[in-house]
A and B are shown apart, each in its own frame.
Chain A
Amino acid sequence: MSDNGRPGPKRPVTFKVFRYKPGDTDPPRYDEFKVDVDPRMTVLDALEDIRTSQDATLLYRHSCHHASCGTCAMKANGREILSCVTNVLELGTDTVVVEPLGVLPLVADLTVDMTSFADHFEPAGMTLLRKSEFNPKAERPASVQDYARYENCIECGACISACPITNTDPQFMGPADLAALYRALVKGDDLPEKLYALADCEHGAWRCHTAMECTAACPSDVDPGGLLMALRRRVTGYKIKRLFGLKV
């Protein structure tokens, strides 16, 4: 979203929205909705407008409205976005095509099923909190030993959708999970052997072909591609140390 711009006149934008209801709107189609968009509106605002004024059956996920929960990830004009922070007019087109994320199984319309995502993510060690790097030299009150903050990754699935490998290898752990694996190893809470085994397996860190679309799609500065490469180095170091009987 642009900086504190003031709202101006509304502009009509046509939304071509992917519709799919298994057994009902099947095969899928694209419905067109016209919305008068003001300069502050996000894609999510537009979808809410469509749902409340034009079609109450439109199904999409949303929760926090400020890029913290990851539930509103979808595709606009072919690119993975978080609909709650994507300004409609800044997309620059008179028609906006709205589609669900790729790869993840479809539930209906713009809603995908996050079960398979969680299935991969959970064994990777779901690190939710870490030490805050903000102002490390600031004085602390006595009650706080270390300031904590939530990890950047909001598990939105954008990287999974953008990756060319997840599209064709359903067993590939995927950038989100491998990045989480790396964070878990760095944090050091979990059994490292289990995590290294996951990273080193056939569908782990070596399956990546460095397209780096994951990092490009990530709305949260996680850099899953970069973390995946760091994971490779770490796994390599681990295996070499193990080979020579050194302490890992």
Chain B
Amino acid sequence: MAEKFHVLVIGGGSTGAALVHDLALRGLRVTLVERGELTSGTAGRHHGLLHSGGRYAVQDQESARECIEENMILRRIAPDSFEENDGLFVAITDEDVAYRGAFVRGCAECGIPTREFSAAQTLRMEPYLNPLVKLAVQVPDATLDCWRLPMRFFATAKHNGADIRPYTEVVDILKRDRTVIGVRVKSHVNGQVYDIGADLVVNATGVWAEKISEMAGVRVPVRPSPGVMVAVRGRWCNMVINRLAPPGDGDIVVPQRALSVIGTTEWYTDDPDRLGLPEDHVQKMFEKCGEMLPVVRTAPLRAAWSAARPLIGDETVAGGRELSRTFKCYDHKERDGVEGIVTISGGKGTTMRGMAELTANVVCQKLGVHAPCRTRETVLLPYGAYYQ
């Protein structure tokens, strides 16, 4: 019965990937369109941190709980996909040390296991750390591959019948009265323009959500918030290194293969296609991350780029890192009186599966389909299976 409904997902990022996987498992017919390569938006180019939630354990506990739960689920459903080396929150200054109490308490409240190490122990584990490090708290961070992890979801969905169409850009959303009935797309492979009908359209375009929502005549409260990241040559730590402090600029170093990814900063933009690369932000990365790992200040630069977080926020709300990193699914029938379209927004890479579950629940409820979510237990196919 579920297969008589056709769901169209716009956006081939990590959310879209987990969503088509979830919907396909529930027996729905699903098509996904993505204008570029899969994960070529924000999903491909974040640090690649499998979040323990530590960073949010004090100020954004909703998000922290989501992170640790999804962290554990992803390890189960995508085995052998992560550098499971854990992470450290390191205290360099007395201020950092003072933050320790709140941090450890916050983690405990959110279900994030921690363990503390003295300065000497910490330096024995990670000898390239600033020798002035005072203590460290271990959390279950890990490194994920930003391209290959979502591809596992795409591979599994494809093998379960989902129709994945990269290089296909939505140019218009088709409506009949106040109901969305499909999309008009342009293929960037052969230039053809054609229509795809659907019973329900899901806007999973992350920071481009407003661009799509405008086509449908609905509103979504997304504030693209870019940040700069830098990759330097050399693997200078095995564990993810975080700053034991409230979220701020330059507070993380993620080892990625033979590189170290240092980041990040934040500002706001209305144009997710032209993020730019502010030079002072690049320099700040070397400076701030260098406070934790001095060696990165002089390590050769491999890449510097910007990526935009999709923050949920109304125009009335100011402040960047104060905005929650949680996620929400908006039913536009309720918000804007337009049937046939929902938007999933917010979130973090780590919470991709949880975001998909929430959205798929809304989709099924709207279509009157009774199918439980099975993505918590279903082990994903290897990413190479996408090409077979």
Contacts and interface: CB of A to CB of B under 8 A. Distances in A.
Interface stretch (B32-40, B244-252, B361-369): B32-40
Given A126-B384, A134-B238, A66 B121 contact: no
A4 B280 CA distance: 12
Contacts of B189: 21-22, 59, 107-108, 111
Query: Per DSSP, are chain A's interface residues mostly helix, strand or loop, or mixed?
Result: loop
Given A24-B190, A66-B256, A139-B125, A150 B83 contact: yes
B316 interface: no
A23 B190 contact: yes
Contacts of B191: 21, 24-25, 57
A108 B187 CA distance: 10
B190 A21 contact: yes
B323 interface: no
B39 A63 contact: yes
A67 B301 contact: no
A141 to B, nearest CB: 6
Given A21-B189, A138-B127, A40 B84 contact: no
Contacts of A6: 279
Given A68-B145, A147-B238, A150-B83, A7 B190 contact: no
Interface in B108-128: 115, 117, 121, 124-127
Give the one of B256, B257, B301 with max A CB within 10 A: B257
B90 interface: no
Contacts of A57: 186, 188, 191
A64 B85 CA distance: 21
Interface in A105-163: 107-109, 111, 114-115, 117-119, 121-122, 126, 128-129, 132, 134-135, 138-141, 143-144, 147-152, 154
B5 interface: no
Give the one of A23, A63, A139 with max B CB within 10 A: A63
A67 B36 CA distance: 18
Interface in A41-91: 42, 45, 48, 52, 56-71, 84-85
Nearest to B117: A141
28 contacts: A3-B300, A48-B273, A60-B37, A61-B40, A63-B146, A64-B45, A64-B48, A65-B305, A68-B48, A68-B146, A69-B146, A84-B303, A84-B305, A108-B167, A108-B190, A115-B388, A122-B382, A126-B384, A128-B145, A129-B80, A129-B83, A135-B238, A138-B125, A138-B238, A141-B138, A144-B86, A150-B256, A220-B257
Interface of B: 36-40, 43-45, 48, 80-86, 115, 117, 121, 124-127, 138, 140, 143, 145-148, 167, 169, 186, 188-192, 229, 231, 235, 237-239, 255-259, 261, 273-274, 277, 279, 282-283, 286, 300-305, 307, 382, 384, 386-388
Interface of A: 1-4, 6-7, 21-25, 40, 42, 45, 48, 52, 56-71, 84-85, 107-109, 111, 114-115, 117-119, 121-122, 126, 128-129, 132, 134-135, 138-141, 143-144, 147-152, 154, 220-221
